[in-house]
Amino acid sequence: MQQELDDEFMGFTNQPVKYGIFEMFCEISINCITLGDLLEKMINFYSLITDTIEIDLSVDQENIAKLGFCFAQPELDPDDFLAQYLLVIWHRFPSWYIEERIRLKSISFSHKVPSYIDELKIMFPGNLSFGESSNSISFDAKYLKKPLVRTHKEIKKFLAHHPAIIMAIPGDETTLESKIERQISDGDHSKLYFPKISILANKLNMSSLMLYRKLKDEGTSYQKIKDDMRRELAINKLVSEKLSVEEVSELVGFAEPRSFTRAFKQWTGLTPRSYCKYQSVN
């Protein structure tokens, strides 16, 4: 429906928001560090795009955070579909991003008690209230300090299945590949360091043999994960930050530029310099 109407608010506001805006925000969000950063940036981002919805984040004296959505023309959403949809999105998406279900303290709706209240209780576990001044979710402010643990690759996979994937409450499951990427990324974000697989296995509470087997079951390997991370960081540093081949070689963990150049050509089919020239032309 969003794609057909080219409106992420699905016609329930007086001003359409073009389809793809949420995806653009997700790309920007990769630079956020904590959940608080993410929500503040989301509020600023949407305030620049539309005046149809006012979004607010506050923390009270009891350290309870409240994320609220107030519609300029609520009559355009007579069945409160968009209001409930936004609350679902902005509970599930942050929960997915910190890889921990955010426990809601309360959920407030501006509309009256609907006939399907039992369904709402399933969608929004917590204390429900109706006839309020805005649609909002409240939760412990401690979540705002939680780090965002998803990688850029995971964001891409998430967007490929959005919005269907977001409608299920996130659990704690994740791929072993993602766990390894986060273990490596937890250190110096500007430089890659790959621990020995025995050390990595120990951090993940398993033996080296079990780690090998589990990665094989997922159709990957530690070497492939290292190559993927090196390639992604190398391309970003070369193309976006315009660093030299020598600088990037060191950042992605190669002892010398020649070894990095050979590996980069295997990854992309081009040398680093040729790749940069191709990107500048296209």
Considering the domain architecture, whether residues 158 and 241 belong to the same structural domain is answered as no
SS3 108: strand
CA distance 186 to 178: 12
Choose the final residue of a domain: 141, 167, 193: 167
Q: Which of 106, 134, 167 is the last residue of a domain?
A: 167
- Torsion angles phi and psi, residue 54, rounded to 5: -100, 125
CA 80 to chain CA mean position, Å: 26
Render each residue's pLDDT in the chain as its tens digit; 282 residues.
677 778 888 888 888 888 888 888 988 888 899 999 999 999 999 999 998 999 999 999 888 999 999 998 989 888 888 899 899 889 989 988 988 888 888 899 998 888 888 888 777 877 889 999 889 999 989 899 999 988 888 888 888 777 666 665 443 345 688 788 878 876 655 678 889 999 999 989 999 999 999 888 777 899 988 988 888 888 878 887 889 999 999 999 898 999 999 999 988 888 999 888 876 665
Q: Are residues 37 and 135 in the same domain?
A: yes
Total Cβ atoms within 10 A of residue 78: 9
Are 114 and 230 in the same domain? no
Residue 272 neighbours by CB under 8 Å, 6+ apart: 234, 238, 245, 248, 260, 261, 264
Domain that holds residue 87: 2-167
My answer on whether 37 and 6 are in the same domain is yes
The helix (H) or strand (E) run that includes residue 239 is none
Q: Are residues 135 and 180 in the same domain?
A: no
Asked if 118 and 189 sit in the same domain, the reply is no
Cα 35 to its chain centre, rounded Å, is 10
Same domain, 150 and 228: no
Strand 64-71 with 127-129, pairing: unpaired
CA 121 to chain centre: 26
Give the per-residue pLDDT at 173. Answer: 44
CATH number for the domain spanning 251: value is: 1.10.10.60
Question: Which of 223, 221, 219, 225 has its CA nearest to residue 211?
Answer: 221
Domain total of the chain? 2
Query: What's this model's pTM, rounded to 2 decimal places?
Result: 0.60
Between CA 132 and CA 70 the distance in angstroms is 10
Query: What is the predicted pLDDT for the residue at 127?
Result: 80
**Which helix or strand (DSSP H or E) is residue 142 part of?**
none
Contacts of 205 (CB under 8 A, 6+ apart): none
Nearest alpha-carbon partner for 42 in 32, 16, 204, 52: 32
28 and 142 in a single domain? The answer is: yes
- 142 and 192 inside one domain: no
What does DSSP assign to residue 34? B
Q: How many helices (H) and strands (E) does the chain have?
A: 13, 5
pLDDT score for 171? 37
Q: Which of 102, 133, 167 is the last residue of a domain?
A: 167
